[in-house]
Amino acid sequence: MRVGGWRGGVGRALVLAVPYAWLVLFFLVPLLIVGKISLSEMRAGVPPYEPILDFADGALVGVRATLENFALLFEDDLYVGAYFQSVGIALVSTLLCLLIGYPMALGIARARPDRRGPLLLLIILPFWTSFLIRVYAWMGILKDEGLLNGALLWAGVISEPLVILNTDAAVYIGIVYSYLPFMVLPLYATLEKLDPSLLEAAADLGARPWRAFLSVTLPLSLPGVVAGSMLVFVPAVGEYVIPDLLGGGDTQMLGKALWDVFAFSRDWPTAAALAVSMLAALALPIAVFNRLQARLEPEEK
């Protein structure tokens, strides 16, 4: 028994070690490398940054780390504006995904069991196509001579094409379209587990449908709301492809600013500092979301 128990403990430890090793290798190590670059100084060469550790005869003789790259992020209005614009666009996009995705998830959860599979398939169907191709498709839909303006002109709704592409509205459309499934699926997983007898009890007590929704369905679905909001908000803050292809020159988000500094300015230390700062800025909303989920878990049970 002792030998079997020891072997079982080793086996469990090895199983648990695999995901931890994966996180260390593909998350912690790259993060440490980016953090090291963010503390260095820019130079013309390969790599385009100075080493922060000075060695002589194989011995460490000095450290040349600097925080000037982080100070630049707070002094330059470009980065400060990109941060606030990214957070604002991500918040509005998350709210739009929630307003659109909640009725969709509720409708799928209350559909007949034989119809839920096809409806869920329609939600995840866009993932079968490349993300980049789908964004390019929206460029063809939203441009002045695109499908949307063509349909509105043909129907007589407008007399001249609407300017949608290269605006913030196009960015919202692209983000909501791309991340809507990440809101619908967690909401559906929560709503599908709700006991229908609770709504029947509320109706027996005289509650109208909207009252039963506000008192029963919505509170019990909050874990799904929190999970879906986190899955939409966090990647939307650092989005690059959508604002670059659908947004205009005034749409400056952190992901786009990061790419511009990294690829065009070749200022790797500043780009690394921006990446570290973006990750640190996301730590607060992630902690808030996790805290809300932890508080809502007992209600879900």
Provide the CATH number for the domain around residue 247. Answer: 1.10.3720.10
For residue 244, tell me if it sits in a domain.
yes
Q: Residue 48: pLDDT band by 50, 70, 90 thresholds?
A: confident
Query: What percent of the chain stands above pLDDT 70?
Result: 92
Residue 11 lies in a domain: no
User: What domain range includes position 263?
Assistant: 75-300
Model confidence at 83: pLDDT above 90: no
The reply to whether 1 falls in a domain is no
Tell me the residue ranges of DSSP E strands in the chain: 53-56, 59-63
Mean predicted confidence (pLDDT) in 148-159: 89
Judge whether 170 lies within some domain.
yes
Instruction: Grade residue 62 by pLDDT with cuts at 50, 70 and 90.
Output: low
DSSP designation for 125: G
Within a domain: 53 = no
Domain count within the chain: 1
Structure tokens at 293: 């989920």
Domain annotation covers residue 291: yes
pLDDT-based confidence at residue 180 (cuts at 50, 70, 90): very high
What is the length of the chain? Answer: 301
Inform me whether the pLDDT recorded for 298 exceeds 70.
Answer: no
Residue 70 lies in a domain: no
Identify the pLDDT of residue 59: 63
Q: Domain for residue 60, yes or no?
A: no
Going by pLDDT thresholds of 50, 70 and 90, the confidence category of residue 173 is: very high
Secondary structure of residue 67 in the 3-state scheme: coil
Residue at token pair 């409806």? 119
Give the Cα separation of 54 and 56 in Å (integer).
Answer: 7
Taking 50 as the threshold, does the pLDDT of residue 301 lie above it?
Answer: no
Euclidean distance between CA atoms 27 and 41, whole angstroms: 24
Mean pLDDT across the chain, nearest whole number? 84
pLDDT at 55 over 70: no
Terminal Cα distance for the chain, rounded? 36
Residue 9 pLDDT exceeds 80: no
Per-residue pLDDT at 57: 65
- Range of lowest pLDDT (48-52, 265-269, 296-300): 296-300
